[in-house]
């Protein structure tokens, strides 16, 4: 297992991850935004609509996983980096979609390493252009994310609901 200074901000859709990642970036930290959104936005730029992008769920999930792996290979291990989701999140999404048993996924998840995981508590669900999950899926993803990261023996810190994203930022920085 490689050693690095990487932290993961994770949680179900609409748990406030990206808002806090933006604050971390404003504080001067290196951040990597959610790969699924990057992937979706690139496909939309090519003229595809979300239904086309998500038509083949296995292809979609593999595209996101491959992009995550490519991004992580290029990052310095000695720098503090915050990820808005990371490679193991793909395992939770594969399971949600009934795509279990992918050997490539299992291999890259086993090789992934992070200093600590910050698992955000659920907030009320809101749909947007990229979210196709239901509120029921949101809850299932939360459970799957927790299971996935805990089995990797990486410290998981639950980030509770708070009155502001700034409070969550302080909570994270106090728990590095």
- Give yes or no for residue 127 having a pLDDT over 90: no
Q: What pLDDT is stored for residue 133 in this prediction?
A: 72
Identify the bridge partners of residue 117 per DSSP, sorted by sequence position: 8, 156
pLDDT tens figures, 58-80: 999 999 999 999 999 999 999 99
pLDDT tens figures, 75-98: 999 999 999 999 999 999 999 988
pLDDT-derived band at 48 (thresholds 50, 70, 90) equals very high
Please state, in angstroms and rounded to a whole number, the distance separating the CA atoms of residues 21 and 19. 6
**Quick one: CATH architecture of 6-174?**
3-Layer(aba) Sandwich (3.40)
User: Which pTM value belongs to this model?
Assistant: 0.90
pLDDT-derived band at 50 (thresholds 50, 70, 90) equals confident
Q: What pLDDT is stored for residue 101 in this prediction?
A: 81
Please state, in angstroms and rounded to a whole number, the distance separating the CA atoms of residues 13 and 137. 9
- Give yes or no for residue 1 having a pLDDT over 90: no
Place of tokens 């990052």: 75
80: tokens are 């503090």
């Amino acid at each position: 297992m490689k050693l690095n200074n990487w932290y993961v901000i994770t949680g179900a859709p609409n748990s406030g991850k990206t808002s806090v990642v933006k604050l971390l970036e404003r504080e001067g930290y290196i951040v990597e935004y959610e790969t699924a959104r990057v992937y979706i936005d690139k496909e939309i730029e090519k003229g595809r609509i979300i239904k086309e992008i998500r038509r083949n769920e296995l292809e979609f999930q593999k595209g996101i996983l491959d992009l995550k792996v490519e991004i992580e290979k290029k990052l310095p291990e000695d720098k503090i980096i915050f990820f808005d989701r990371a490679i193991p999140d793909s395992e939770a999404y594969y399971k949600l979609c009934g795509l279990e048993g992918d050997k490539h996924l299992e291999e890259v998840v086993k090789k992934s390493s992070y200093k600590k995981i910050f698992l955000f508590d659920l907030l009320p669900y809101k749909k947007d252009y990229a979210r196709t999950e239901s509120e029921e899926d949101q809850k299932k993803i939360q459970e799957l994310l927790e299971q996935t990261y805990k089995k990797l023996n990486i410290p998981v810190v639950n980030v509770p609901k708070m009155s502001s994203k700034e409070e969550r930022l302080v909570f994270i920085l106090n728990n590095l």
